[in-house]
Structure formats: structure tokens, C-alpha cells
Amino acid sequence: KNERGIGMKISVVSFTRAGAEKNLELTGLLQSKNHQAASYSWHTYTGRRLIPFQSAELLFADLWKGQELIILLGRMDQVIQKIAPLIGGRRKGPAVALMDEDARFLIPLLEGAFFGLEEWCRWFSAQCCASCVWTMGTEREERFGAEAFAKKNALCIQDPFRIGAVSACLDAGIPVGIYSDYPIEGVLPEGLIPVGGAGFAGMKVSASVPETGISVTDDWEAPHFIKECRMFPKNLVAGMYCTDGAVASKAEQALKKGLAENHLSRERLLSLHGVKTHGFEAVKKAGKLLGVPVFFLDEDSLPPGEKPVWERVCLSGKEVATLLFTCRNQEQTAFSIYEKKTVLHF
């Protein structure tokens, strides 16, 4: 054997029709690299060069004695449920790796007696254009939690029920994608695959997009995953100016309409800012209707400049913010929306 494990005894085991078709393709690839590869398929999906089986337990008992590597093909969650009881606690025997039925991801599950499995899997994933997800190790890091990540970064979760889908995938060793419009600092947690966005600028992103993923974005018109857990930061601040005759409810509705027209989620609003000498009560009540804290400045405390009051009132010299838009409503209400610089952390 050389550094690529040439001449290994490898069994490819599939459980679905799509997996059976991919089984033959992968076995052919392995054989072309001088491996002793054989194809096993669930008896419902068989054909020439596919060895049928009806019991995963009996098949594993047989393969465990003479193989060096077993590659499992199928829907990852179902394969994990079927196979985990059969390999749990085993140390001696063949290595075990898992691939989805489209062969997009390769996940080593059990090293067995095969030293160098990580290197071999990275080599093989390159041969079949798959992404290798390494989840093994004697000391596993604490598993990534989407809810904890959102809480740590003060993110709003649009669809909390999607948290369960993300957690189920990570628990089963199935890769989860992550997209972010905001920079993310820290080490990428185990099990996450970056697929794009400003958060991963300069990093190599995966060309294969997992079915389930996390999107840190406020763009609801462009989902990045079939099963998407979308979250976004509360990083918008509003400066508001009201005349003495302004009605709070109309000011609130005008601001909400402005956010919607600019495709910004109302839940991203962090705070409202006003000037004590201009529509104090209307701004205060509008903030209460919006459910956000309200902060007031004296007019002589405003940052200097020629910008309108409603643009200057929510600025400070220390924070970095970008003006997104300004709106005036029938001369009674004017407001501006700023986006504060946001950096997330794993």
C-alpha cells in the first residue's frame, strides 16, 4: 500500500435507488485506482454488479471480518439511524465513512484499524468532487448550537422551528451550511460548511450547498438553503423628528412603512432617538408602540454638521454606522435609519 492506500479492500453499501446508481460510479472509480472494491445494495434496488442484501446487521457482521473500509451511501439521517447501533462501541475492524446519495459530502465516522483515514478521505473526496467533513477525534469540541450562536450575537431568529432541523443534522454528523452578510470572527465550528457571503470573504467556500443551513441575512427573497434557519442582527437605529402636532401612531406607521419599502425587517430596529425640544411626547409614544427604547438629546448636544436633526440625533463619535435612508412624512414627521457596524463571533 502507498500513501493513498492502494489495494485496499473496500465495500460501498447503498440503501436507496439514487445511492445504488452512485454506488456503481464510485466503485468503478475505486477500481480504476487499483482498489478491491465491491458494491452492495439494498435488495429493492439491485442490478448487474450490485450485490443485494436484506439485512444490514448480517451484512455488517460479514464485512467486518475482511474489509478495510466501508463507505455507506444514502440519505444521511436514515443511514445514521440504521448503522449507528451496528458500529457503536466498535474499535477494531474496518474504517467507516458516510456519503450522501449524491456523493456531495464525505464524512469519516470510524477510523477502525485504518491509520491515515483522514488523508485518504480528503484524497478520495477530491477524486469524486465531494466536500470532506472531518468530525472525528479523541477529544471532540463542544458541538455548535444555532440558538446559542444567535443569543451570543443578539440575533433574531425568524423561524425558530428550523433550529430543530439544524440541531438534528449536527447531532447525526450531517454537514450544515452557513451563509452570512456580516463578518464572522473566530474558528469555524465543526460540522459547519461556509457557502458564501461577506462573513466568509477571502475564505474558500463550498461549491456543494447542504440542504439545511443557517443564513445570517435580512434578504428574505433569496434563500440559500432548502431548509433555512434565517437570523439577523438588531443593528438598525432610527433618528426621529416630530412637530408638536404630530400623532405618535402615524409616526410609528410611517417608520414601519419606510422599513418595509426598503426591505428591512422591523425586528432589526434596536433603538429610537429624538431631540427633547422637537415632538418629545410623539417620539416617546412612537418608541413605545414600536417596542424599542427611546433616547433623547438636548439640541445643543447634537453632533455638529449640516445634516438634518433626525440624521444627527442617533450618531455618536465612537460608533460606526451607515445611513441607509431618510424619509419625511407630510412635514410632521421625519426619520432616518442607520445600520450599525456588525461583527459576529463563533
What integer is the mean pLDDT of 244-257?
Answer: 90
Per-residue pLDDT band at 113 (split at 50, 70, 90)? low
Q: Which of 55, 165, 168, 69 is nearest to 115 (CA)?
A: 69
Burial (0-12, 13-18, 19+ Cβ within 10 Å), 115:
exposed
Q: CB of 214 within 8 A of CB of 179?
A: yes
| Of the listed ranges 216-230, 252-266, 301-315, the one predicted with least confidence | 301-315
Check whether 172 has a pLDDT greater than 60.
Answer: yes
Say if residue 2's pLDDT is above 50: no
Partners of 238 in the β-ladder: 272, 337
| Distance, CA of 148 to CA of 207 (rounded, Å) | 27
pLDDT level of residue 138 (50, 70, 90 thresholds) = very low
Q: Which of 170, 262, 176, 265 is nearest to 217 (CA)?
A: 265
What is the reported pTM? 0.56
pLDDT attached to residue 91: 57
CB 320 within 8 A of CB 311: no
Residue 238 pLDDT grade (very low, low, confident, very high; cuts 50, 70, 90): very high
Q: Tell me the mean pLDDT in the region 138-149.
A: 70
DSSP three-state, residue 197: coil
- Helix, strand or coil for residue 37? strand
Mean pLDDT (the chain) is: 83
Assigned C-alpha cell, 241: 423628528
Beta strand residue intervals within 298-343, DSSP E? 321-329, 333-340
Measured between alpha carbons, how far is 80 from 90 in angstroms, rounded to an integer? 15
Average pLDDT, integer, range 125-134? 78
- The pLDDT tens digits for 180-207 are 999 998 888 888 989 888 888 877 777 7
